[in-house]
Amino acid sequence: MSYSQPISSAVHTLNIESGYDGQRIDNFLINYLKGVPRSLVYRILRRGEVRVNKGRIKANYRLRTGDQVRIPPVRMAEKDTQERVDSRQLDRLEKAIIFEDKRLLVLNKPSGVAVHGGSGLSFGVIEALRQLRPEERELELVHRLDRETSGCLLIAKRRSALRTLHELMRSNGIDKRYIALVQGHWGRDRIEVDAPLLKNTLQGGERMVMVDPRGKESVTRFSVRERMAELMLVEARLMTGRTHQIRVHAAHLGTPILGDEKYGDASANRDMKAAGLKRLFLHAETLKFRWPDEKQDQVFRAPLEPALEELLQRLRVKSA
């Protein structure tokens, strides 16, 4: 099920069908207004030019069956000017698929690849997968990972699957575990961080997140997997899903993630770069959930890239 391409020169209204129930309005518009820059989609949302049931909404509004969505005139890009992902990148992502069935695709997302194109990026994971799977008309991201974070990323292949997975996320029914290499040591092996996070945009346009009582509730459960000289390999379980949550909470504890250029320690990052760390050491290792009415959990595990495994081995030898 899909809507036809919009007429760009006139305001038009859509009646939302059941297959789109629960989808965020920004993701719906990015997919519907093919060829329109993501920056423009967010601009018309901020300005209130997109209305739902005659009212203004935010980008994170979730659609409901029967909603009336007013879309303003927008300038569509010519199809032949849209950039296509080169074959090397497509091959890289094809090899990164760790599971696929009729409902779902699970990717071990490489570090350095954004989930969405835009903001100076010619493509993201979702654009590349749509090019890889042109017959799949309903591919949508279930959640997001930072560009520099690697690991398990869920992509729904059916609207019904997307709706179910979003419901599971809202009810904390998807268990997401990350591993990170951090600078420093804690006095105990398990720590729960309950610290609200607030988004800020700096003068240069850079987005930063900070612990602030005005922010949204944010909870991360950390546990130590391995201690090395002045370092720890830790597991982080997300109890909420805020932007940069693990990175900010780790830094809040005084143990920033190594390779984190935004929230990390510059001196420690330089030392680790000399030791061979070329990226943020944060990896979405496992995802676990159960489809409604099924008896067994679905569990997905994304292995660390070889360069990170080799780094860990060198650090173990050094700290032995």
Cα 58 to Cα 37, 51, 142, 226, distances in angstroms: 18, 10, 19, 42
- 84 band by pLDDT with thresholds 50, 70 and 90: confident
The pLDDT of residue 196 is 96
Is 55 in the same domain as 90? Answer: no
Could you report the per-residue pLDDT of 233-256, keeping only the tens digit for each? Answer: 999 999 998 999 999 999 999 999
Domain that holds residue 184: 174-319
Specify whether 203 is located in the same domain as 281.
Answer: yes
The tens digit of pLDDT for each residue in 98-121 reads 999 999 999 999 999 888 765 555
Pull the structure tokens for residue 278.
């070329």
Does the pLDDT of residue 81 top 60, yes or no? Answer: no
Total residue count of the chain as it appears in this document: 320
CA distance 197 to 165: 24
Residue 78 lies in a domain: no
Q: Does the residue 7 lie in any domain?
A: no
Q: State mean pLDDT over 9-22.
A: 80
Looking at residue 85, its pLDDT comes to 77
- Using the 8-state DSSP alphabet, how is residue 256 labeled? P
- Residue 82 confidence (pLDDT) above 90: no
CATH number of residue 251's parent domain: 3.30.2350.10
- C-beta of residue 194 within 8 angstroms of C-beta of residue 285: no
**Containing H/E element for 210?**
strand 207-211
Assign 78 a pLDDT band (cuts: 50, 70, 90): very low
* pLDDT tier for residue 136 given thresholds of 50, 70 and 90: confident
Render pLDDT for 170-216 as a digit per residue (tens, 0 to 9).
898 999 999 999 999 999 999 999 999 998 876 666 778 999 999 99
pLDDT reading at 3 higher than 80:
no
DSSP state of 10: S
Question: Can you give the pLDDT at residue 288?
Answer: 97
Check residue 177 and give its pLDDT: 97
Closest CA to 183 of 251, 119, 108: 251
Q: What is the pLDDT of residues 143-158, one digit of tens each?
A: 999 999 999 999 999 9
**Interval 18-47: pLDDT, tens:** 778 888 898 888 878 877 877 888 889 999
The reported pLDDT for the residue numbered 1 is 45
Is 260 within a domain? yes
Joined together, the tokens standing for residue 63 give 């659609």
57, 121: one domain? no
Question: Is it the case that residue 80 has pLDDT exceeding 50?
Answer: no
What is the model's pLDDT at position 122? 57
CA dihedral 231, 237, 238, 239 (to 10 degrees): -130
- Report which DSSP code applies to 127: H
DSSP state of 232: E
Q: Is residue 6 part of a domain?
A: no
Give CA–CA dist 312/316, Å, rounded: 6
Are residues 43 and 141 both part of a single domain? no
Show which residues are catalytic.
146
Strand 150-156 and strand 282-289: pairing?
Answer: parallel
Is the domain of 183 the same as that of 298? yes
Judged against a pLDDT cut of 80, whether residue 83 lies above it is answered with no
pTM strictly above 0.85: no
Q: Give the pLDDT confidence score for residue 86 in this predicted structure.
A: 78
pLDDT, averaged across the chain = 88
Q: Is 65 in the same domain as 95?
A: no
Same domain, 310 and 183: yes
253 shares a domain with 309? yes
**HSE-CB of 7 using CA atoms within 13 angstroms:** 6
Q: Are residues 239 and 298 in the same domain?
A: yes
Identify the pLDDT of residue 79: 43
Same domain, 307 and 180: yes
The total of structural domains in the chain comes to: 3
